[in-house]
Amino acid sequence: MAKKNILICGAGGFIGGHLVNHLLKDKSNNLICADIKPKEYWFQIYEENKNFSLDLKEYENCLEVTKNIDYVLNMACNMGGMGFIENNKAECMLSVLINTNLLRAGLKNKIKKYFYSSSACAYNASKQNETFIKGLKESDAYPAMPEDGYGWEKLFSERMCRHFQEDFNLETRVVRYHNIYGPLGTYNGGREKAPAALCRKIIDAKINKKKEIDVWGDGEQTRSFLYIEDCIRGTMNVFNSNHSDVFNVGSEEQVSINQMIGIIEEIAGYKVNKNYQLDKPKGVRGRSSDNTFIKSKINWEPNYSLREGLKLTYDWIHSEMTNGTNISKFTKS
Ligand code: GKE
Q: What integer is the mean pLDDT of 266-285?
A: 98
The percent of residues in the chain predicted with pLDDT above 90, rounded, is 96
CATH number for the domain that contains residue 155 = 3.40.50.720
Residue 281 covered by a domain: no
Q: Is residue 153 part of a domain?
A: yes
Establish whether 150 is a catalytic residue.
yes
Residue with the smallest CA separation from ligand 1 atom 7 is: 194
Residue 305 has pLDDT above 60, yes or no: yes
* Statement: residue 231 has pLDDT above 50: yes
Q: What is the mean pLDDT of residues 53-79?
A: 98
Separation of 284 CA from ligand 1 center, angstroms? 9
Residue 329 lies in a domain: no
- pLDDT tens, residue by residue, 234-268: 999 999 999 999 999 999 999 999 999 999 999 99
In a domain, 188, yes or no: no
Q: Which atom of ligand 1 is nearest to the CA of 192?
A: 1
Confidence of residue 330 (pLDDT cuts 50, 70, 90): low
Q: How far does the centroid of ligand 1 lie from the alpha carbon of residue 81, in Å?
A: 5
Strand partners, 226: 180
**Domain assignment present for 29:** yes
pLDDT digit string (tens) for 203-223? 999 999 999 999 999 999 999
Ligand 1 atom at minimum distance from 219 CA = 10
Which residue has the CA at smallest separation from atom 3 of ligand 1? 194
**Residue 124: inside a domain:** yes
The pLDDT tens digits of the residues spanning 167-193 come to: 999 999 999 999 999 999 999 999 999
Ligand 1 centre to CA of 278 (Å) is 14
Query: What DSSP line would sit under 159-224, residue for residue?
Result: HHHHHHHHHH--EEEEEEE--EE-SSS--SSS---HHHHHHHHHHHHHHTT-SEEEEETTS--EE-
Q: Which residues surround ligand 1 with Cβ inside 6 Å?
A: 79, 81-83, 85, 119-121, 177-179, 192-194, 197-198, 215-217, 221, 223, 257, 280-283
Helix (H) or strand (E) holding 330: none
At residue 1, the pLDDT reads 62
Q: Domains in the chain: how many in total?
A: 1
The answer as to whether 260 is a domain residue is: no
Q: Residues 71, 116, 150, 177: which is the catalytic one? A: 150
Cα 194 to averaged position of ligand 1 atoms, centre (Å): 5
Each residue's pLDDT tens digit, 107-119: 999 999 999 999 9
pLDDT at 96 over 70: yes
Report yes or no on 107 lying in a domain.
yes
User: Which atom belonging to ligand 1 lies closest to the Cα atom of 282?
Assistant: 14
Q: How far is the CA of 115 from the centre of ligand 1 (A)?
A: 24
**Do 146 and 205 touch, CB atoms closer than 8 A?**
no
* Residue ranges making up the domain that contains 58: 5-181+228-251+286-302
